[in-house]
Amino acid sequence: MKKRLLSTLSAICLSASVFGQSDMTQLIKENFDFAAQQYKVLMKNTPADVMPKTYFANNNKLVTSDTKWWCSGFYPGTLWFVYEHTNDEVIKAEAERRLQILEKEKHFTGNHDLGFMMFCSFGNAYRITKNPSYKTTIDTSATSLATRYRPSIKVIQSWNSSKTMSCPVIIDNMMNLELLYWVSANGGDSKYKDIAITHANTTLKNHFRVDNSSYHVLNYDLNTGVVIKKMTDQGAADESAWARGQAWGFYGYTMMYRFSKDKKYLDQAKKIAAFWLKHPNLPADGIPYWDFNAPGIPNTYRDASAAAVFASGLLELGQYVAKKERKKYVSAAEKIIRSLSSDAYRAKLGENGGFLLMHSAGAVPHKSEVDVPLTYADYYFVEALHRYKQWYL
């Protein structure tokens, strides 16, 4: 894979320089048409009572999950984006079927991931269809997520307490604030917005280093609110910059500015973007290594999922800045989209188990989901395509 990426890198960069923005219309259309065909392969491969998770090409094995897995909302969410841009009724019917098995998780309180699970899925379904039952599910999900809020430390607890962790809070949690803020902004109790703001402020205070990179995990003392330890679980080291963690934080603060218009969130998003875009270890095609400080660079894994999240966030950030800055952010996002659309990262029809993108990295230190397709890589890729078409074409 690494040699293949290097061999195709110059072609990707040439393509981005030769073709102007005008061909993005065709590129986006081609990607959505491909996604409709490819996801019908994934649909046929996935049993009716579970969700797709990843695929191992070496033994042609599709790995699935139950609906409590944190990624369970990404497959139906991707289907809704694909339906929105293709009007393919087969895709819509599959999206509706998958929402039926996911709906019961609106009562889940076992971790912080209700935003990923329920807003990426039911949120898109409601946005597109305005079906009031979908909004009811979203509202109930916010109530469930709010049970994770810990007033003593002013954050939402990510994972449950254990013998080694009093109250772990991960940077990923910034993504789940969208569910809470959206519900308050759409007729729900204002307490959800207040929780989102409080969590974002506490995270801003404690989670970031001087260079604006983020720790992955903070362990809080539940009684005092003191940070006991700052560490990683999926990154290369406690002081390293795990790529997807940087993308989660960046996207999260950009989203928080959308709702609140609080300038400190916009400023933080810009700082994280600068850390990423100016980093000497960022490859020329815009797709990061799984950790910006990973051992073995350049001979290590890329993470298409981190790139997709970051690209989608860049396109939103471009909506909130002056023209010169907008050009910088949108150009960087376009480079990522073109790279992910190339043969280096996008699968061929019928291959890759039915997933769109190859070469994502789930948890390299745990040897889990390494250099494989992942549902959230596909989701944020198509969201980036959607946003580019919606805002810049």
pLDDT in tens, 12-39: 443 443 345 679 999 999 999 999 999 9
Is position 213 within any domain?
Answer: no
Q: Give the tokens for residue 32.
A: 């959505």
Residues 6+ apart with CB under 8 A from 142: 114, 179, 180, 183, 188, 192
- Please give the mean pLDDT across all residues of the chain: 95
* Residue 141 within a domain: no
pLDDT at 21: 64
Query: What would the pLDDT profile of 220-268 be if each residue is shown by its tens digit?
Result: 999 999 999 999 999 999 999 999 999 999 999 999 999 999 999 999 9
pLDDT at 133: 98
Q: Is residue 1, in this structure, part of any structural domain at all? A: yes
Residues with catalytic roles: 113, 172
pLDDT at residue 366 tops 70:
yes
107 lies in a domain?
no
Please give the pLDDT value at position 15.
Answer: 40
Number of domains within the chain: 1
Domain that holds residue 364: 1-45+261-393
Gap between the Cα atoms of 325 and 254, Å rounded:
14
pTM of the predicted model as reported, rounded to 2 decimal places: 0.95
Q: Read off the pLDDT of each residue in 38-53 and give the average, rounded to a whole number.
A: 98
Is 387 within any annotated ligand binding site? no
CATH code of the domain covering residue 33: 1.50.10.10
| Mean local confidence (pLDDT), 199-219 | 98
Contact of 208 with 174, CB cutoff 8 Å? no
Does 4 fall in a domain?
Answer: yes
**211 marked as part of a ligand binding site:** no
For residue 119, being part of any structural domain is answered with no
